[in-house]
Structure 1
């Protein structure tokens, strides 16, 4: 634990920026989740799973999926199990080595993604992209890339980060 006398405390602008990030991301993710749930009975995490699978030819190993979402493997396993029961995904042993589990998008899951994507993208535009200048959006991307690079620099699935 850091000695309070050795801590470089945040100044007023840094504290404002930090609190804006925390509040803004919380409110934004809650709104995106609410929009998807209300219209498609789909959580933001479930939507992101569908997106990640669609970007990988419809399937991914569960461990890679968890890493790509920056969620615990157990959280992703529970979410995927729910989605499998709903017919959106299937799971099977990896054909490569038989040890890993592969999650695969079903036709029903792909159909739901196609229907939900326009609403989600419009919500992202309405509540983030169209509120700020292109320069501010690019700056936010650079800032959060630096955070991600710092926190996942030695992550075994680093190549899953897309720029």
Structure 2
């Protein structure tokens, strides 16, 4: 190594014992140390911000879960008290009522009510014992099982729908203003993006979703 590049040579003078000079080498070390501190502060700040954003998102998620659970529990309680029908059973009957010939394949029914295959099978078992639903093989291809809403099931659904609509109005719609409802609808559509297209709301449904101020 030549004197031109050797640390401590004339090209890179070290400070004298009195500290009269700070050469490029020490200046580089100080600059590196300062740069590292700044970079660390930036990274720490960025990490803190990311954690804050993440924490906020999880807080919203928890509020959403609590809100959903509060409303669904209230609906379930009223349906059980007034109609002796669970919310899941009501959903099954409602889906069948809207299907052609009031009949759906079990696999389609499970997807529609967001239950597992085994879950919807157990639910249909109970409804069948009550005479609200029947089951049979799909005639078109002889494979698969379909559930069909009976006349008794339709009558039970009609009675339960009165309780359900009133409970949704009381525990959900009336607690939100028009802006809340629009925002929630937009957010819900974004969350379900890629799922089956949502049917257009009827005028009756839109009227039912309008906040009441009485």
Q: TM-score, with normalisation over the residues of structure 2?
A: 0.65
Q: 1:88 aligns with which of 132, 153, 172?
A: 132
Matched length = 150
The alpha-carbon deviation at position 10 of structure 1 amounts to: 5.4
In the alignment, what sits opposite 2:183?
139
Whether 2:148 is the aligned partner of 1:104: answer: yes
Secondary structure of 1:104's counterpart equals: strand
1:43 to 86, 94, 99: 86
Correspondence for 2:118: 74
Q: State the 4+ residue runs in structure 1 displaced beyond 3 angstroms.
A: 8-16
TM-score normalised per structure 1:
0.85
Tell me what 2:160 maps to. Answer: 116
Instruction: State the Cα deviation string for residues 62-116 of structure 1 (Å, max 9, x = none).
Output: 1101011121111000000110011000000001111111100011100000001
103 and 10 in structure 1: CA distance in 2 versus 1, 3 angstrom threshold: farther
Of 192, 210, 214, the match for 1:148? 192
Give the number of the structure whose alpha-carbon radius of gyration is greater.
2
Q: Which residue number in structure 2 is paired with residue 53 of structure 1? A: 96
Distance in 2 between residues matched to 1:49 and 1:10, nearest whole Å: 41
One of 53, 63, 85 as aligned partner of 1:20: 63
Write the distance in 2 (CA, Å) between the matches of 1:128 and 1:21.
13
Q: Any gaps of 5 or more consecutive residues in structure 2?
A: 1-46, 201-214
Task: Determine the structure 2 residue equivalent to 1:162.
Answer: 199
